[in-house]
Structure 1
């Protein structure tokens, strides 16, 4: 893949940095998918009920919420992302290796909580690393994230095939190998934080600055909207796999669904920079929230494995748009000193807390009223997010009333 070449004002060549991030994201998401894409099917293979799976995944996500709050603050006060990222990946690798060797429910709960703490943190840190790098790198977040989707999709198919042939034990071996490759990739990459970000590392972050972040109305409105949207995305992602299993699908077919979903994200992510120029972020938010509402209804009424797999392509107008606009919308209202914390807290809420809400409630509703009715309920919540998106656009963007917090 061609690397886009950039020069900063001081004449430093930026193409290599962009290429490094693209390579890192591909390997990183390939690694993460090895666990995350098959965590639910693995628990399902142990004949654990939907309700219990929902609770277990919720514990992982809750641990991730705690991890993101702690990690975001830690990165800002220590003024580093790279060092913490590397340490977390090593600890995450050890936890995943133990997880796929255990069938005891107590050990599974303990390990998945540890995994959640580190996995959610490194996923958020990767995005913050990009957004806090040079403006050229930041503007190309979409193309960088696209390589992550490619890594995820290829891992889903490859690992799914390996599981069908060799069993679950092969997952931790793949994960260890990928983590080692990722480690060597990270060694030569420049940390996003330091003197170059315009923030004095010796200047402490005050409680007043943190309080202003939590009481910023625009920030809170975005958290509510993305909370509802990511809740639906996690529900449809989790239960599409369960529906495939319920219809007698193989692990390869689960992997194929994930492959279709992941590769459908890539075109839009590569076009993210162009979309930002042609449309307001709030307009993209309105469109994607409506598309997600439509997707939830279609999945609810799906009747076979092929259709479920095909509907994974709706990622192109839902997740792929939502994931990059969420980063930019949060970034544009975040103070310089709290860039990492703002993103980490946001992800803790709209990917963490929403995940707890989604997996726990959806798992319970699926057992009580059925998967179809549960997905319709999530579709109603998406429509509410669509209405809130309309309000956000009308209130802020026509008047360009973006509330920048003062650091």
Structure 2
């Protein structure tokens, strides 16, 4: 079992290092091609939208084929090819086509990785936080390392790094056990019925969680994006923007390592209440911040907001998901609260910032967070004390 945990930790480090090689530098690359900000916004929105479609399709595909590993490997190969072509293309039409393909596969493999952990042995599942922490570390190190390589050698080196990382990841995956099969208590020959899928979509507890996390992740994306803009507006340097990102990223790691302990000491619903209130407080503080140093310091609020929200979202969805639809339940949830919320947040927040100003936009997002906080209180009072967790029949 211990070896399996180490395998997942190693896999997550390499995987997020690989993903960051593209995701952290996609926008700077588009900027280097002198593409307008409006067009870049449209291109990124297309990538997110394609990712939403990918997660819906992939979740269903994994459950009916009863495998995560095989689909993960195939998707990574196709993703690697798409990224390699992307960083060699300067034609806007090709870029739009490739970014859509990348969005489809990238969002899918990121969600599949989490589902793989949650559908593995109890030891692996209980250590999701520590596994995810290695992913954050891989992302942070990649952002620094790849950035320096690009400065010295140019953009052409980026897709080479991506290919090398994908090959290393492939050999890491070969000896890892698939999460699907008879060991999870599901007969792979038993088909998934439309009734079972319908029950998932009409499960009130599932829908309430989607609404809560949609609001929370929308706020997280808004505060992450506009904190950087505020730093620029205050005359901050690129180094200060990078420092903010560094503080935010590495603040996530301690809580993720302590995720297992937090689950033992507190109910997931209690952590949801705490993190939603903390995010509300963070939105207001950022809205009224008056200097760059304070904005950078507020990046450390990731420790009580994103890092808690990201792991409790997985466990809360998992505990109410039917055995036959575990992957699909997680993939649909991520498509809604990370994909659709991303589109919602970038479009609405951008428009509101232009119309009523960044400060008032952040206050508005804070109000939405407070609404999520109230829904979290309702969720805790209605489901947990009465032990009404709704496990759908599979």
Which residue does the alignment assign to 2:231?
A: 244
> Quick one: structure 1 residues 54 and 394, their matched pair in 2 at CA, closer, same or farther if it must change by over 3 Å?
farther
Q: Is the 8 A contact 1:55 1:359 kept in 2?
A: no
User: Normalised by the size of structure 1, how large is the TM-score?
Assistant: 0.91
**Unmatched 5+ residue regions in structure 2?**
none
> Quick one: structure 1 residues 84 and 36, their matched pair in 2 at CA, closer, same or farther if it must change by over 3 Å?
same
Q: 1:384 aligns with which of 371, 375, 388?
A: 371
Deviation, 1:257, is 3.0
> Quick one: structure 1 residues 193 and 382, their matched pair in 2 at CA, closer, same or farther if it must change by over 3 Å?
same
Deviations along 1:203-240, one digit per CA (max 9) or x if unpaired, are 00000000000000000000000001111112222333
Deviation, 1:370, is 3.7
Deviation, 1:46, is 4.8
Which residue does the alignment assign to 1:329?
A: 316
> Quick one: structure 1 residues 196 and 210, their matched pair in 2 at CA, closer, same or farther if it must change by over 3 Å?
same
Q: Is the 8 A contact 1:282 1:392 kept in 2?
A: yes
State the distance in 1 between where 2:164 and 2:173 align: 15
Which residue does the alignment assign to 1:156?
A: 143
Compare 188-197 and 211-220 and name the one that shifted more.
Answer: 188-197
State the distance in 1 between where 2:172 and 2:120 align: 17
Compare 301-310 and 172-181 and name the one that shifted more.
Answer: 301-310
Deviation, 1:322, is 0.3
Compare 352-361 and 48-57 and name the one that shifted more.
Answer: 48-57
Deviation, 1:51, is 4.5
State the distance in 1 between where 2:35 and 2:351 align: 13
State the distance in 2 between where 1:45 and 1:372 align: 30
Deviation, 1:158, is 2.1
Compare 340-349 and 394-403 and name the one that shifted more.
Answer: 394-403
Which residue does the alignment assign to 2:35?
A: 48
**Unmatched 5+ residue regions in structure 1?**
1-13
Deviation, 1:44, is 4.5
Q: Is the 8 A contact 1:333 1:402 kept in 2?
A: yes
State the superposition RMSD in angstroms.
2.0
Deviation, 1:16, is 0.2
Q: How does 1:108-257 map to 2 (within 5 A)?
A: 108-244=95-231, 253-257=240-244
> Quick one: structure 1 residues 342 and 289, their matched pair in 2 at CA, closer, same or farther if it must change by over 3 Å?
same
SS at match of 2:89: coil
Deviation, 1:344, is 0.5
Deviation, 1:96, is 1.8
State the distance in 2 between where 1:270 and 1:320 align: 10
Which residue does the alignment assign to 1:8?
A: none
Deviations along 1:228-275, one digit per CA (max 9) or x if unpaired, are 111111222233344455566665554443332221111111111111
> Quick one: structure 1 residues 299 and 51, their matched pair in 2 at CA, closer, same or farther if it must change by over 3 Å?
farther
State the distance in 1 between where 2:259 and 2:109 align: 23
Q: Is the 8 A contact 1:50 1:363 kept in 2?
A: no
SS at match of 2:236: coil
Deviation, 1:321, is 0.3
User: Normalised by the size of structure 2, how large is the TM-score?
Assistant: 0.94
State the distance in 1 between where 2:30 and 2:362 align: 21
